[in-house]
Amino acid sequence: MQYDADLSADADVYTPAARRPLPIDSDVCEWFMDRAQRSGHEDVAALINAALREHIRRADEPLERTLRRVLREELRKVG
């Protein structure tokens, strides 16, 4: 495949309403659709985007902060 600058010109620009079809496995799509239905959400794409943003945020989280967060969550469960 040859690089085409005209096709990639918009790639660096964030546009919330941009339509970029992505292949999503059916089991993943079904999970999000089920979650949306149970929570009363109508916008499955918004749920997927929120999950991806949370994953990105946590992936960039320093290890110490991650450990502290996990410990707090587990301590809350115990009591």
Residue 11 lies in a domain: no
Answer whether 29's CB lies under 8 Å from 23's CB: no
For 29-72, the pLDDT digits (tens) are: 999 999 999 988 888 988 999 999 999 988 888 889 889 989 99
- For the question of whether the overall pTM of this predicted structure is more than 0.85, the answer is no
SS3 2: coil
pLDDT score recorded for residue 33: 93
Residue 12 lies in a domain: no
Residue 15 lies in a domain: no
Residue 1 lies in a domain: no
- Dist. CA 18–CA 59, nearest whole Å: 24
Q: How many domains does the chain have?
A: 1
Mean pLDDT, residues 7-16: 53
Plot region of 60 (φ>0 → left; ψ -120 to 50 → alpha; else → beta): alpha
- Dist. CA 60–CA 11, nearest whole Å: 22
